[in-house]
Structure 1
């Protein structure tokens, strides 16, 4: 099993919009092999403590993944789009 470091969870957030955002770890899903991508993201989401958050960077709008997260966690995970394409979608996922 890969560690958080190997999953490219980094301790910075830079959406490029120019606005000030709190410093959150980022998980760049584009670097995770497709066959294990959702499982790796579930591992990070499942490990979030209440009040914790991270930025997910995806190669496309991850609507199917968000549906799966909602099925697993109900309303416990809030999702906020930080950037919508064209090269990457950045979402802030927060454990309520």
Structure 2
């Protein structure tokens, strides 16, 4: 997991997860595990080479409530903030 200084509105540091640093065979499982470990109101910034729609569909199956916000919409990479709402 790389770290880039991104700050939430409450001035806590937000981790950036660059998906290209995760082996393809375990990528979705690793990201879903990181999301499941987030506390309520916790977030992470996902850096991906494309809009992660397949992953976002899988997030719906996690326990808890998650939402996402596209921070950067390509074309070199996408940044998507994923937040655990409940």
1:30, CA displacement in angstroms? 1.3
Q: TM-score, normalised by structure 1?
A: 0.76
Question: Match for residue 4 of structure 1?
Answer: none
1:9, CA displacement in angstroms? 4.2
Instruction: Give the alignment partner of residue 41 of structure 2, picking from 34, 48, 51.
Output: 51
Question: Match for residue 72 of structure 2?
Answer: 83
Alignment RMSD:
1.5
1:87, CA displacement in angstroms? 1.2
Separation (CA, whole Å) in 2 of partners of 1:59 and 1:50: 27
Q: TM-score, normalised by structure 2?
A: 0.84
Are 2:15 and 1:10 equivalent residues in the alignment?
Answer: no
**Higher fraction of strand:** 2
Tell me the number of residue pairs that the alignment of Structure 1 and Structure 2 aligns: 81
Question: Match for residue 16 of structure 2?
Answer: 26
Q: Structure 2: where are the runs of 5+ without partners?
A: none
1:72, CA displacement in angstroms? 2.2
Aligned to 2:25, the other structure's residue is in SS state: helix
**Higher fraction of helix:** 1
Q: Structure 1: where are the runs of 5+ without partners?
A: 1-7, 14-20
Question: Match for residue 92 of structure 1?
Answer: 81
